[in-house]
Structure 1
Amino acid sequence: MKIILHPERSAWADLTIRTSLDTYEDLERAVKPILRAVKRSGDAALRRYIYKYDKVRVKDFMVGAEEFEEAQSYVSEDLKKAIQQAKYNIAQFHMNQRVSNKKIETVEGVRCWQRSVGIRRVGLYVPSRHAPLFSTILMLGIPANIAGCGETILCSTPDREGRLHPIILYTAKLLNISKVFKVGGVQAIAAMAYGTESIPKVNKIFGPSNQYVTVAKQLVSKQDVAVDLPAGPSELLVLADESANPAFVAADLIANAEHFNNSQPMLLSSSEELVKKVLAEIKRQLPGSSRPESAAKDLEQAHAIVFQSNVEAIEFINMYAPETLSLAIQNAEAVSERIYNAGAIYIGHYTPESISYAAGPNNTLPTNGYAKAYSGLSLDSFVRKINCYDVTAQGLKNIGKHVEEIASAEDLMARKNAVSIRLTNSD
């Protein structure tokens, strides 16, 4: 990590810029031909791109019953118990987000309420090229089930034998997701956005991935399908002070860098001495990572910034708007109340980001500064809210005059008349 000492405020904006493998224009040029081809040629284009990028020929995209059954035996009992516990916690948290459709009488005779209706068909994208991120299925599939979504389909990248990892199939079956397809990358987004002979078109696409998939989601959302949020390369910003354990902080930064796809770890502190201790710990712990070379590459590009005080660091955090923020400081909970731009906050020395696997809240979060405007996924992400009105004749008399005045002021006389004609003809 590159240590930056006491940067001037004029340099802060540059420090918030995320590293990227390509410019947005380059990404669009790579993504658009794939989207067009799948939209035009359907399954034939999918097979072509799967072979090009995944080096495998897939005949049947949909996972069959035998593959689901076979997968069950490959998952250890300990892992099954861990997944069951995570499922329970995540379900509990998201069930608590349900709201009652209470009917409100705003004026006598004017009743209003809001219905939450599950999206009819949702598509889940589960990254698996480098690792089977089955936790994503829990984070997406559980709220989809609780929301009452009509149908859930899942797409993930096949291996060189044209199969999906057993843990992905086990987790999908656990959540009663039976329509699982062997296709990943941009082509999977295109298939769910447009529909093909094998894969149905969905109403909304969910799931994080690399920058190419993120751009594909942004492009198809312009006119073809809704998407969840901009969730690209993983980000972790750690604010640590003298009370932090350097080994803990280093472990969290390595854990973030262990992701593929240009992860964005960052360390902030008011103590240069602590920063040096953390960097020494990173060097010591890094060989134990599953992907030390990839993690080392992302850490080499990362910044360790020493500010004059935590007050400055907090200002920078709100400017940066990290996907995930770890507060390894004294009075962490109090400081968390001063953070208004972050996808999720991990408070205190014993709260690693990894806890999000099973604690309960959704860990699909906005990246690249979008936490300034987007929330992480929740139950609301999987429903539509339908407003309902029920007005009696007396209710219309009670409110109609005000509606007529507003319609007249906007010079929408037909709208005024829709009220006036009822008032004139009411008993």
Structure 2
Amino acid sequence: MEAAIDIRYALDTFYFLICAALVMWMAAGFTMLEAGLVRARNTVEILTKNVALFAIACLMYLIFGYTLMYPEAGVNSVWPGIGFLPGADHTVEAVMASEGETYYSGAADFMFQMVFVATAMSIVSGAVAERMKMWSFLAFAVVMTGFIYPLQGYWSWGEGFLDGLGYSDYAGSGIVHLAGAAAALAGVLLLGPRRGRFGPDGKINAIPGANLPLATLGMFVLWMGWFGFNGGSELKVSDIESANNVARVFVNTNLAASGGLVGALIIARLIFGKADLTMALNGALAGLVSITADPLSPGHGLAAVIGLIGGVLVVLSIIGLDRLKIDDPVGAISVHGVCGIFGVLAVLASNDEATLLAQLTGIGVIFGFVFVSSIAVWLALKSTMGLRVDEEAEYEGLDMAECGMEAYPEFVSSRSG
């Protein structure tokens, strides 16, 4: 019996860590996607923001976030002997038992949850691109990853009041993606659009990204990483039922992405008369976000339909936000916000235990708390550090203004990108 437990412990811990590595790889996907969708003169700055936010997220989750989100596990496990940080008696290096007979390393659980918070923060980066001060963004990342995200995460995954109401969100359409989009929306509303994005006559001026091959690579990296994001949320793989569940989650995740891409491609063709690559890329991500709240319960056909609807919604949302003069260079608010809401509601189509009241409450609480908290932090930063670069820096490009270097110095001047 003890040998069997050892094997299950080792297998589940290894699976957890592999999934954590896949989710960490999503940071590369966000980085490449955003770098491809901004202008050449802002590439170094967006790269710097993404690598820095990942490191900040990991450190803040270590120091504060984990204990706020999972008080039963506790940060004393990471900082033993520090009395002012709440925590349980066990250490993360010890065997962690969860949900009956599930055994895995607490350190593996910590690692998996840590890369999730970085994902939420990555959503904000693209939405505020090309006009926000880098250090103001990083200061917000400290608060978002250390406090805002973990507090709302506790209400659901930490067995807080949303969990008690029956709110169902398997891998985080609301907890991760809607939260990130709410923080992004708050920042974008205070920041305003990029100069030249909207004309005085109401005209919407397109600002093409500098490197669509890079953006496409970023989308595929995210698609791959999402198997860890959703698959790892099963938490174990060491018995027949959980192994079958993981396989089902992988298939549904892939089909939803496929449905989303096709749905976005078709609706874009009907609206614009041409195949729009950027809409197709966001369509795949929209399908992934839409299925994340429940990639286990739906049949394979329903998963593809959920993804397809998400792909249609993201195109309509991007167009709608443009008409409202809300400037989101990469479509992050539409992908993660609108489709995050849809994904939470789509749970009702296949999970008989989910209720409309609980799902709507979860959406309202997560969006409301994160949006209001983020507005407060953004306003504090605006009154102290400032949020937006000056007009000259925006025209010249944030690469030189914020980082002092160009991404493509041998090929193009930053001022022409």
- Shorter-chain TM-score range: under 0.3
Larger Rg: 1
Q: Which has the higher contact order (CA 8 A, sep 6+)?
A: 2
Give the structure with the higher percent strand: 1
Q: TM-score, normalised by structure 2?
A: 0.27
